[in-house]
Structure 1
Amino acid sequence: MDLFSRSWTALRAAVAGLPDAAFARPSGCAGWLVRDLVCHLVLDAQDVLITLATPATTRPTRDAVTYWEVVAPPAGDDPLDALVVRLAAAYEEPWLLRFHLDDVGSAAGRAAGLADPAALVATRDQVLTAGDYLSAYVLEWTLHHLDLIAHLPDAPGPPAEGLARSRELLEGIAGEMFPRSFSDRDALLVGTGRRTPSEAERAALGGTAARLPFAVG
């Protein structure tokens, strides 16, 4: 749960430090500008608040790894993704997005800090402990932090411990271990299809290369 907090705090700080012009730059999410990604983070923060306020009474059906599934890569026709783009455009000024993310995001961070790790919560028709739920979200924050800075080389990146934990989660989700020669960052970028592997990386991946990308959702 501490790692959730560190990853989320680092991501929000990176957004807060962006100049206005950066919000109109492309992000690492195909088809989304930085402003669209930030709007998505606002919705993510709302999901965290909703989930932590939705207790469950049945046994857990998922854990931090099985919360996510390997899904088909985005095809660009998801109506929810299109809604995010329209919502982001409605903010008009970057400071409004910064304010809303800070407002809702801070609340989500406080709620996570107050949560009982053993408490059962319900989300997406599944049940898991609050600790596992928040641990799963380290992957979400880390991948989207990489998306945020994909075309902003001067922006700070995600914490090293978040990158390492996210790699572990992705390897568990995919059922594949990435070569030790891959940095945690490269394993995440290549593994999720955010970057095309080089010839040397493809050779190191062996049979795993044919299964890429491991889009998670």
Structure 2
Amino acid sequence: MDLFSRSWTALRTAVAELSDEDFAQPSGCTGWLVRDLVCHLVIDAQDVLITLVTPAEGEPTCDAVTYWTVAETPPTGDDPLDALIVRLAAAYQEPWLLKFRLDDVGSAAGRAAELADPHLRVGTRDAVLTAGDYLSAYVLEWTLHHLDLIAHLPDAAQPPAEGLARSREMLEQIAGSAFPASFSDKDALLVGTGRRAPTDAENAELGALAAKLPLVIG
């Protein structure tokens, strides 16, 4: 849960440090500009708040890793929900409004996470899991979206090293196989989720794992 807070704080700080011009740059999410991704983060923060106050009965049906599902095809940006994000982001018009909204809702989500009982069972996406596992799952979400945010912003701050390492571990568990030791945590995440194509040398090192990639998680 501490890693959730560190990863989330780092991501929100990175957004706060963006220039107005940065919001018009492409993000690492297909079909989304940076402003669209920031709007998505606002909705993510709302989801965290909703889930943490939605107690559930019964035994957990998933944990921090099995919470994620793997789609068969990469996103194209044409999905109706993805298109809705673009329209919502455009409605904010000024970047500072998006920054303000993320800071407002994001801070509340961060406080809710710090106050949450990690053993509390919560319900979301037709699943039951502990609040601790739910927040741990979101370390992967925050880390990947931090990489998406700065995909075309070379001077922006990188995600926390511990968040990258934990996210790599989770992705390896999802894949059922470890990435080569020569891959940095960042490269393992980018290549593993299809955010960039592997080089010929990397593809050779991946071996049998290459056939499983990309892992389109959601």
- TM interval, shorter chain, is over 0.9
Comparing 202-211 with 42-51, greater Cα deviation is found at 202-211
In structure 1, distance between residues paired with 2:68 and 2:17: 30
User: Match of 1:26, SS?
Assistant: coil
In structure 2, distance between residues paired with 1:215 and 1:170: 10
- Superposed displacement of residue 70, structure 1: 1.1
The aligned amino acid for 1:178 is: F
> Residues 52 and 121 of structure 1 are in contact (CA less than 8 Å); yes or no, is this contact kept in structure 2?
yes
The aligned amino acid for 2:28 is: G
- Superposed displacement of residue 69, structure 1: 1.2
Q: TM-score, normalised by structure 2?
A: 0.98
> Residues 70 and 174 of structure 1 are in contact (CA less than 8 Å); yes or no, is this contact kept in structure 2?
no
The aligned residue for residue 207 of structure 2 is: 206
The count of corresponding residues between Structure 1 and Structure 2 is 217
> Residues 30 and 76 of structure 2 are in contact (CA less than 8 Å); yes or no, is this contact kept in structure 1?
no
1:128 aligns with 2:129: yes
CA deviation vs aligned residue, 1:150-209 (integer Å, no higher than 9, x gap): 000000010000000000111111212100110000000000000110111000001111
The aligned amino acid for 1:37 is: L
State the 4+ residue runs in structure 1 displaced beyond 2 angstroms: none
The aligned amino acid for 1:83 is: L
1:77 aligns with 2:78: yes
The aligned residue for residue 180 of structure 1 is: 181
Structure 1 unaligned regions, length at least 5: none
> Residues 37 and 148 of structure 1 are in contact (CA less than 8 Å); yes or no, is this contact kept in structure 2?
yes
In structure 2, distance between residues paired with 1:211 and 1:175: 10
CA deviation vs aligned residue, 1:14-60 (integer Å, no higher than 9, x gap): 00000000000000101100000000000000000000010011110
1:110 aligns with 2:111: yes
The aligned residue for residue 47 of structure 1 is: 47
In structure 1, distance between residues paired with 2:78 and 2:156: 30
The aligned amino acid for 2:110 is: G
1:163 aligns with 2:164: yes
> Residues 175 and 212 of structure 2 are in contact (CA less than 8 Å); yes or no, is this contact kept in structure 1?
no
The aligned residue for residue 14 of structure 1 is: 14
> Residues 7 and 142 of structure 2 are in contact (CA less than 8 Å); yes or no, is this contact kept in structure 1?
yes
The aligned amino acid for 2:11 is: L
In structure 2, distance between residues paired with 1:103 and 1:25: 23
> Residues 49 and 108 of structure 1 are in contact (CA less than 8 Å); yes or no, is this contact kept in structure 2?
yes
The aligned amino acid for 1:21 is: E
CA deviation vs aligned residue, 1:91-132 (integer Å, no higher than 9, x gap): 000000000000000000000000000000000000000000
The aligned residue for residue 60 of structure 2 is: 60
The aligned amino acid for 1:58 is: G
In structure 1, distance between residues paired with 2:91 and 2:158: 28
In structure 2, distance between residues paired with 1:89 and 1:28: 18
User: Match of 1:140, SS?
Assistant: helix
The aligned amino acid for 2:131 is: A
Q: Percent identity?
A: 79
CA deviation vs aligned residue, 1:49-85 (integer Å, no higher than 9, x gap): 0000100111100000000011131133210000000
In structure 2, distance between residues paired with 1:75 and 1:24: 19
Structure 2 unaligned regions, length at least 5: none
